[in-house]
């Protein structure tokens, strides 16, 4: 029998009722400070996922067996950041209310704020694990508080001190790093200390936000603010899988793929493979 032509991320074609994890795209890049284009990230990941096997030799698991629905991209109103965030929040709230795990594909990193607003409302004791090249701890960016350069600072306002654990950070202004030392836990350059943090967070609800520019630009040039000196693909794969296996994840996102900056398509392939490994590790 012929099937409807509806595109989903690799094998993530279960019904909403069956699904335990719900993927959705947040194709928004209005506040990007340098090179725009992340609005095409989620659809590129979905489309290019067909170049990838659904089976992972790393984990010996297959997305065919998973209970995941890809619900497509949100329709977001460019130019109205507040409305965009409230639409993302509402979608996340709906998924949480139904007892499912929201997994968002960005978009620029600001989209995380909408999801964290919803998750923090449900889980008082929320902690955040954040992989990124950038601290994203600015009070504002050129006077704008709702910017992807400030997203983790906005999240801190929701969860408070010592709840945010950053890894891979290698860029930010002096004030961000100074402020960060007092309010968040920042591990610079790589994933050292991740196992200890995961042990410390055992049983606590965790939101996991992964900015793909944590990768070195030689691996992942397809992003708006590339930052040399990043981690390798395999370092990220192992760290992201570990977080998804060990932490009590209550929401997560992968963001900042800007596919058109890498004409080879390799950056999109990297994003797809990281998403696949995360989904398989989350599907318990």
* Choice between 176 and 213, CB closer to Mn ion: 213
With CB atoms as reference, the residue minimizing the distance to Mn ion is 134
Residues 37-76 that bind Mn ion (CB under 5 A): none
Does the protein bind Mn ion through residue 134 (CB under 5 A)?
yes
* Choice between 69 and 164, CB closer to Mn ion: 164
Does the protein bind Mn ion through residue 253 (CB under 5 A)?
no
Binder of Mn ion out of 70, 132, 216, 262 (CB under 5 A): 132
Does the protein bind Mn ion through residue 190 (CB under 5 A)?
no
Other CB atoms within a 10 A radius of the CB of residue 267 amount to 27
List the one residue out of 40, 41, 42 whose CA is nearest residue 25. Answer: 42
Max CA pair span of the chain: 61
State whether residue 4 is helix, strand or coil.
Answer: coil
Task: Output the DSSP codes for 79-143.
Answer: T-HHHHHHHHHHHHHHHHHTT-EEEEEESSTTHHHHHHHHHHHH-TT-EEEEE-SB----S-BTT
- Closest distance between Mn ion and the C-beta of residue 118, in Å? 22
Does the protein bind Mn ion through residue 176 (CB under 5 A)?
no
* Choice between 100 and 109, CB closer to Mn ion: 109
- Closest distance between Mn ion and the C-beta of residue 267, in Å? 14
Packed helices 233-246 and 266-282: angle between N→C axes, nearest 10 degrees: 20
User: How many residues line the site for Mn ion (CB under 5 A)?
Assistant: 5
Does the protein bind Mn ion through residue 283 (CB under 5 A)?
no
Packed helices 41-48 and 266-282: angle between N→C axes, nearest 10 degrees: 80
* Choice between 91 and 134, CB closer to Mn ion: 134
């Amino acid at each position: 029998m012929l099937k409807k032509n509806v595109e989903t991320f690799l094998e993530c074609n279960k019904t909403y009722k069956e699904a335990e994890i719900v993927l959705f795209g947040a194709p928004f890049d209005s506040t990007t400070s340098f090179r725009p284009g992340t609005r095409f990230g989620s659809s590129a990941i979905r489309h290019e996922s067909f170049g990838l096997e659904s089976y992972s030799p790393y984990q010996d698991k297959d997305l065919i067996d998973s209970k995941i629905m890809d619900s497509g991209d949100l329709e977001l109103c460019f130019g109205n950041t507040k409305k965009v965030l409230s639409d993302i929040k509402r979608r996340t709230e709906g998924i949480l209310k139904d007892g499912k795990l929201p997994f968002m594909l960005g978009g620029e990193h600001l989209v995380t704020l909408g999801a964290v607003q919803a998750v923090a409302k449900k889980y008082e004791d929320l902690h955040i694990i954040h992989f990124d090249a950038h601290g994203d701890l600015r009070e504002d960016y050129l006077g704008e508080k709702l910017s992807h350069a400030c997203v983790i600072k906005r999240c801190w306002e929701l969860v408070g001190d010592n709840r945010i654990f950053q890894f891979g950070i290698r860029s930010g202004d002096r004030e961000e790093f100074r402020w960060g030392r007092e309010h968040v836990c920042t591990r610079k350059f790589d994933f050292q200390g991740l196992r200890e943090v995961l042990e410390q967070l055992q049983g606590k609800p965790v939101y996991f936000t992964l900015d793909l520019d944590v990768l070195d630009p030689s691996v992942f040039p397809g992003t708006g603010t590339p930052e040399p000196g990043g981690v390798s693909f395999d370092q990220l794969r192992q760290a992201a899988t570990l977080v998804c296996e060990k932490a009590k994840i209550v929401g997560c996102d992968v963001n900042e793929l800007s596919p058109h900056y890498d004409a080879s398509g390799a950056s999109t392939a990297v994003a797809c493979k990281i998403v696949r490994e995360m989904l398989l590790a989350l599907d318990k």
